[in-house]
Amino acid sequence: LPFATMSSKTGTFHLQQPLNYRAGARIQPVDGSHSEEVNEPATGRVMGKFLFSGEKEVDLAVQSAKAAFKIWSQKSGMERSRVLLEAARIIRERREEIATMETINNGKSIFEARVDIDISWQCLEYYAGLAGAIAGQHIQLPGGSFAYTRREALGVCVGIGAWNYPFQIACWKSAPALACGNAMIYKPSPLTPISVVMLAEIFTQAGVPNGLFNVVQGGAATGQFLCQHQDVSKVSFTGSVPTGIKIMEMSAKGIKPVTLELGGKSPLIIFSDSILENAVNGALMANFLTQGEVCCNGTRVFVQREILEAFTKEVVKRTQKIKIGDPLLEDTRMGALISRPHLERVLGFITQAKEQGAKVLCGGEPYVPDDAKLKNGYYMRPCVLGDCRDDMTCVKEEIFGPVMSILPFDTEEEVLERANNTTFGLAGGVFTRDIQRAHRVVAALQAGICFINNYNVSPVELPFGGYKMSGFGRENGQAGIEYYSQLKTVCVEMGDVESVF
């Protein structure tokens, strides 16, 4: 196992192996022109370099996936299920090693990375369970004739991922894709290129045909070669809205179906009858996982005026206690942001918020850990903003960092209007003890994923995806199957053909 001997101390990992994966092995791309550095967010150190793939390598990856698709798509659901279960078992076995790699490359705490890896193998197990149940329908027609439907694979699917959940996003895409009989070529974000290659190795070890899951590395250009390739049948994308628009435009040229999991600016509505401690915990969960770099975060926290003071006081107190630092230490709960430019961008939103009249109630400044090796890492103190208004930039735009905006409200009608007044629609949450109100509020929220009296839990059995400009298509849950398969109708005549001519 290539990573088994790696050191699990921050500041010590060196990238040595190629990060492309084709036909069952790590390889260097045939036309790797541009090389890119990989950083360790916790220290700001360069861990090594890797090559971006050009059009030739993309084509070779597609050809190899096509060959694997021929074999894999002929297998029964039960046969595919067994292989996926074996892959899930290997991930469980290598959990610590994968979580450590994820922490080193992303900067999130090891505590969270372990949860990410657990969700990842659970996703494979879940779709392994569904693989044998993928079936069509039988439809009786007059005179003994009948029809049936077949749920068939699409072919070679492309997955393009963001940097916040590198391994998990790859599993959310590949598990349903492979369960349905497809092949997949995956392109991770160039900021987090490492862990997905471990997934590719695990699939091979579990018994998928060589080429069924290939990895190409690169940025926009490589992504474009993938989306434009004529032998690619589908593109599943997780990332920002502007890139999502480009992906959809490119895919439109080839009439390729797309799944888009894009950003958000989700509302979390806290009514005065909530259990305060749960509401505070919910708001922390909604804002500070993975340094706030989570698409479905509830960053607009609407608090009913009667409890505004009590809630704010408690949320600030708890935020100040979050332990920031070396992400590989057991008691760290917030690590480093993904990159220096991203950290600057997040801090810029806070400066702008102050200029627009918001009050920084805590945090919002860079954090320099005592440990000397961490002093160039990309850390900041999590921030709570008070005195926010709906027209402020920090309330309108996705910050993708640990910044919570608190917004007072008076009535249910008013808060719903304000909560929905956004072009995004990924998630939303409500805290209240009034069950009728809870269901009424989520029914009115224009969002794909809603939480009542919790936030940001995401069991793999539940469909995940957005409304409005947060995208379309669903990942996870039974719904995921629909987005990686197509329906064929077969009409069978049992009598003679009656011609009208």
Catalytic residues: 261, 295
Select the residue interacting with ligand NAI from 27, 42, 232, 262 (CB under 6 A).
Answer: 262
Number of H helices, E strands in the chain: 15, 20
Number of chain residues interacting with ligand NAI (CB under 6 A): 26
Q: Is 389 helix (H, G, I), strand (E, B) or coil?
A: coil
Residues 6+ apart with CB under 8 A from 217: 19, 20, 29, 50, 51, 52, 53, 187, 188, 190, 193
| Residue linked to tokens 């224009």 | 446
Say which entry of ligand NAI, ligand NM2, none residue 456 contacts (CB below 5 to 8 A, set by partner kind).
ligand NM2
Say which entry of ligand NM2, ligand NAI, none residue 189 contacts (CB below 5 to 8 A, set by partner kind).
ligand NAI
Choose between 83 and 215: whose C-beta lies nearer to ligand NAI.
Answer: 215
Pick from 414, 456, 416, 412: nearest CA to 434 = 412
Residue type at 286 in one-letter notation: A
Say which entry of ligand NM2, ligand NAI, none residue 458 contacts (CB below 5 to 8 A, set by partner kind).
ligand NM2
Fill in the per-residue mask, 161 to 190: x = in contact with ligand NM2 (CB under 6 A), - = not in contact.
Answer: ---xx---x---------------------
Phi and psi dihedrals of 191, rounded to 5? -80, -25
- Asked if 99 is part of the footprint of ligand NM2 (rule: CB under 6 A), the reply reads no
- Asked if 379 is part of the footprint of ligand NM2 (rule: CB under 6 A), the reply reads no
Q: How far is the CB of 172 from ligand NAI (least distance, A)?
A: 8
Select the residue interacting with ligand NAI from 29, 159, 161, 176 (CB under 6 A).
Answer: 161
- Asked if 483 is part of the footprint of ligand NAI (rule: CB under 6 A), the reply reads no
- Distance (Å, whole) CA 296 – CA 168: 15
Give me 312's structure tokens: 């704010």
Q: How far does CA 98 lie from the centroid of its chain?
A: 17
- Distance (Å, whole) CA 109 – CA 91: 19
Is residue 428 within 8 A of residue 325, CB to CB? The reply is no
Say which entry of ligand NAI, ligand NM2, none residue 247 contacts (CB below 5 to 8 A, set by partner kind).
ligand NAI
- Asked if 162 is part of the footprint of ligand NAI (rule: CB under 6 A), the reply reads yes
Pick from 101, 250, 244: nearest CA to 160 = 244
Is residue 126 within 8 A of residue 461, CB to CB? The reply is yes
Give Cα separations from 248 to 261, 262, 485 (angstroms). Answer: 12, 12, 19
Residue showing the smallest CB distance to ligand NAI in the complex: 223
Q: How far is the CB of 60 from ligand NM2 (least distance, A)?
A: 29
Select the residue interacting with ligand NM2 from 205, 458, 478, 486 (CB under 6 A).
Answer: 458
Give me 247's structure tokens: 């992906």
Fill in the per-residue mask, 229 to 258: x = in contact with ligand NAI (CB under 6 A), - = not in contact.
Answer: ---------xxx--x--xx-----------
- Asked if 289 is part of the footprint of ligand NM2 (rule: CB under 6 A), the reply reads yes
Choose between 65 and 262: whose C-beta lies nearer to ligand NM2.
Answer: 262
Is residue 295 within 8 A of residue 465, CB to CB? The reply is no
Residues 6+ apart with CB under 8 A from 255: none
- Asked if 334 is part of the footprint of ligand NM2 (rule: CB under 6 A), the reply reads no
Give me 404's structure tokens: 């919570």
- Asked if 86 is part of the footprint of ligand NAI (rule: CB under 6 A), the reply reads no
Pick from 165, 270, 240: nearest CA to 426 = 240
Choose between 253 and 313: whose C-beta lies nearer to ligand NAI.
Answer: 253
- Distance (Å, whole) CA 472 – CA 475: 10
146-153 vs 213-215, strand pairing mode = unpaired
- Asked if 109 is part of the footprint of ligand NM2 (rule: CB under 6 A), the reply reads no
Residues 6+ apart with CB under 8 A from 281: none
Q: How far does CA 401 lie from the centroid of its chain?
A: 15
Pick from 388, 380, 365: nearest CA to 312 = 388
Fill in the per-residue mask, 411 to 430: x = in contact with ligand NAI (CB under 6 A), - = not in contact.
Answer: ---------------x----
Choose between 198 and 289: whose C-beta lies nearer to ligand NM2.
Answer: 289
- Within 430-469, the residues that bind ligand NAI by CB under 6 A are none
Q: How far is the CB of 466 from ligand NM2 (least distance, A)?
A: 11
Q: Which stretch binds ligand NAI (CB under 6 A): 81-89, 159-167, 368-376, 387-395?
A: 159-167
Is residue 384 within 8 A of residue 363, CB to CB? The reply is yes
Choose between 181 and 239: whose C-beta lies nearer to ligand NAI.
Answer: 239
Phi and psi dihedrals of 417, rounded to 5? -60, -45
Give me 115's structure tokens: 């949860």
Give me 89's structure tokens: 């078992």
Select the residue interacting with ligand NAI from 10, 164, 274, 287 (CB under 6 A).
Answer: 164
- Asked if 192 is part of the footprint of ligand NM2 (rule: CB under 6 A), the reply reads no
Q: Which stretch binds ligand NAI (CB under 6 A): 9-17, 136-144, 218-226, 365-373?
A: 218-226
Say which entry of ligand NAI, ligand NM2, none residue 219 contacts (CB below 5 to 8 A, set by partner kind).
ligand NAI
- Asked if 189 is part of the footprint of ligand NAI (rule: CB under 6 A), the reply reads yes
Choose between 247 and 324: whose C-beta lies nearer to ligand NAI.
Answer: 247
Residues of the shown chain interacting with ligand NM2 in the complex, contacts defined by CB under 6 A: 164-165, 169, 289, 294-296, 456, 458
Residues of the shown chain interacting with ligand NAI in the complex, contacts defined by CB under 6 A: 160-164, 187, 189-190, 219-220, 223-224, 227, 238-240, 243, 246-247, 261-263, 295, 398, 400, 426
